[in-house]
Amino acid sequence: MAQEASSSTSSKTISLKTGDGEIFEIEASAAKQMKTVQRLIDDLGDDITIPLHNVFSKELPKIIEYYKKDITGEITKDFEAEFVKDLNDDEVKVLFLAANYLDANKLFEFLSQNIADRLESKSVEYVRKYFGVENDFTPEEESKLREERAWSFRGIKEDE
Amino acid sequence: MELSNNVAFEIFSWLPAKSICKLKLTCESFSEFSKESTFKTKQAHNLFGRDDTCFFIQPEQTRQGFEKRVELHSLPKEQQSSGIPKNVLTFLSNSACVLASSNGLVLCHTINNNDKLELFVCNPITKSWSFIPTPESLQINYSNFANINLMLDCSRDSPDDFLVFLFENTMDYYFSPKTSYICKVYHGKEGVWKTMERRFFPGGRNMNFDMPVFHNGAVHIISDSGDYFGKSSPFYKPYIMSYNLEDGTSTMLELPREATKDCPAVWCNMGIFNWGKVTSYSNHRSICLVKLSKSAFTIWILKDYESASWKKVFKVRVKDLGLKEEKDVDVERVGFTVMNGGDLLVFSTENKIYSCRLDDERFKMVEEICKHNCGPNPRFISYSDTLRSCGINAQTMP
């Protein structure tokens, strides 16, 4: 895909190539918000297609959509709600990790908050699976902790 | 797919404190990082300005001397993720009176039977507290709980600091009129009380110090509405007096005419609260006035500060609220507050607490939250659970 190089930086677009080989275009000003991308541009120049090995074609368009809104100052509560509405917990995790890799701060914070909201009332087991961690407490430690924190378990609903 | 520890750190820092306590059981390293002070600071910072999820309720000030009770209730939908440990609540209920709360810190004074009145700021979740030296004026007045005018303010930018404001009555209680108050400010970080140069002049009326509104760099207090001035006095009608926290100027703010047309009156229940929120999308804060008359709640918001122009935004008749009460609601015994910048009107009848959503004029959704035992006209203080530190001298609560 040929890239237009124009003299004014505001309409300049950058080509990004995902880990599974697809190419997407974003505005240079949006690319600035993703520090990893900006670093690669600084190293490789902005005329080349920037390779993003850890981001895939499923997530990148969504991220680009977010930053398109960001540079025009149109991010509202409703937009953000719509943005995550149809994503399940795993999809939002993948998006979150991509934002982390791209060092895209605003999206990263927004998704952290969203994940926290989703995890707020989930069980400890669910959270362990979500983060991919093992329960490394001994049974004695665990029962002691549960007892101390019994109050924080009040009112937990079953996992969906 | 595995998520690394610092990613978990980030996500957990957006959770309310109760959820964090529960999720410490996930694994060892999560339990560890949640104890670090950088984590606690981040969490308090992230949750600053978010909606409060619960509220304390206590008997009204004059009853607090003999009726020791503090209850904490969660708002509807927040029961799972908000609250404090039961033993902490019991401790507070037996020995303290809650005065104010901000960003997860709670300001209290002790109500023991021995002579000393002590002040402290605590975080019920981290179970830490920090005592504040009691100013002399309060030591003398300990038996008269109605005269303790204290407020708490936590700022977002200085996580170790908090401010406690005290308005001291300069005249002996039995001499009238009360013409001025000395404002003393306690800086949590420095650990000292400083006196403001200029006094607060609230005009001629008695002021209602237990619902202060911090706005525009000033604290706003509403007056009472008793009938003790003649028509020609500037204080004939009730008003709001603001005290600028930087330069100490006292300024009167007029109330909407519609609200005061039946004042002065023997009984008139008005309160002021913060309205509007500061979010990442907008910054529209103002003050609202809630009036409970014999038959209805009416709410006005201050549209323009400089010109004191108000706009009525809400009115609901008490009988239209559809409350399931055993007998007719005695409006004189109802206590109320506005939470979360105008999302909810929370009010109490003799035995129950209700919330009413304020975001839709036509469809007033009223929910019963819970029952309570705090008697008539209880005091409400809203709260959200964070891990904010109590600053220097923080010790563990018994």
Say what angle helices A105-119 and B5-12 make with each other, to 10 degrees: 70
Q: pTM (2 decimals)?
A: 0.81
CA B15 to chain A, closest CA, distance in angstroms equals 6
3-state secondary structure (DSSP) of residue A6: coil
The highest-confidence range among B28-32, B177-181, B264-268, by mean pLDDT, is: B28-32
3-state secondary structure (DSSP) of residue B258: helix
Cα pseudo-dihedral B59, B60, B65, B69, rounded to 10? 20
Q: Which residue of chain B is at minimal alpha-carbon distance from A155?
A: B80
Q: What pLDDT is recorded for position B220? A: 92
Neighbours of B221 (CB within 10 A): 26
Angle at B5 between CA B4 and CA B9, to 5 degrees: 125
* Eight-state DSSP code of residue B15: S
pLDDT tens readout for residues B182-218: 888 888 778 888 888 888 888 888 888 888 888 888 8
Confidence of residue B240 (pLDDT cuts 50, 70, 90): very high
3-state secondary structure (DSSP) of residue B301: strand
Instruction: Report yes or no: B237 and B264 within 8 Å, Cβ to Cβ.
Output: yes
Residue B273 pLDDT more than 80? yes
3-state secondary structure (DSSP) of residue B341: helix
Neighbours of B164 (CB within 10 A): 21
Q: Do A93 and B18 touch (CB under 8 A)?
A: no
pLDDT tens readout for residues A13-34: 888 888 888 888 888 888 888 8
User: Which structure tokens are listed for A12?
Assistant: 């300049």
Angle at B292 between CA B288 and CA B294, to 5 degrees: 160
CA B247 to chain A, closest CA, distance in angstroms equals 37
Q: What pLDDT is recorded for position B310? A: 92
Q: Which residues of A touch B279 (CB under 8 A)?
A: 77
Q: What number is the ipTM of this complex?
A: 0.80
Number of Cβ pairs < 8 A linking chain A and chain B: 100
Choose among B78, B81, B324: nearest CA to A120.
Answer: B81
Residue B351 pLDDT more than 60? yes
User: Which candidate from B16, B24, B86 shows the least CB-CB separation from A145?
Assistant: B24
Q: Do B15 and A116 touch (CB under 8 A)?
A: yes
> In percent, how much of chain B has pLDDT > 90?
4
pLDDT tens readout for residues B297-340: 899 999 888 888 899 988 888 888 878 777 777 888 888 888 88
pLDDT tens readout for residues A80-90: 888 888 888 88
Q: What pLDDT is recorded for position A4? A: 44
User: Which structure tokens are listed for A65?
Assistant: 């959509």
* Eight-state DSSP code of residue B51: P
Neighbours of B186 (CB within 10 A): 22
Query: If interface means Cβ-Cβ distance under 8 Å, which residues of chain A face chain B?
Result: 75-77, 93-94, 96-97, 100, 108, 112-113, 115-117, 119-121, 124, 127-128, 130-137, 142, 145-146, 149, 151-157
Main-chain phi, psi angles of B99, to 5 degrees: -105, -40
Q: What pLDDT is recorded for position B355? A: 85
If you average pLDDT over every residue of chain B, what do you get? 80
> In percent, how much of chain A has pLDDT > 90?
1
Q: Which residue of chain A is at minimal alpha-carbon distance from B3?
A: A131
For testing the chain A interface, which of B27, B90, B387 should be mutated: the one with the most A CBs within 10 Å?
B27
User: Which structure tokens are listed for B61?
Assistant: 């000030």
Query: From start to end of chain A, where are the E strands?
Result: 13-18, 23-27, 50-52
Distance CA B127, CA B150 (A): 22
Residues whose CB falls within 8 Å of the CB of residue A139, separated by 6 or more in sequence, listed in order: none
Q: Do B80 and A156 touch (CB under 8 A)?
A: yes
The highest-confidence range among A107-116, B111-120, B352-361, by mean pLDDT, is: A107-116
Q: What pLDDT is recorded for position B205? A: 84
Query: If interface means Cβ-Cβ distance under 8 Å, which residues of chain B face chain A?
Result: 1-3, 7-8, 10-16, 18-19, 21-31, 46, 79-81, 83-86, 279, 281
User: Which structure tokens are listed for A144?
Assistant: 């002691």
User: Which candidate from B1, B15, B27 shows the least CB-CB separation from A128?
Assistant: B27
Q: Which residues of A touch B19 (CB under 8 A)?
A: 119-121, 152
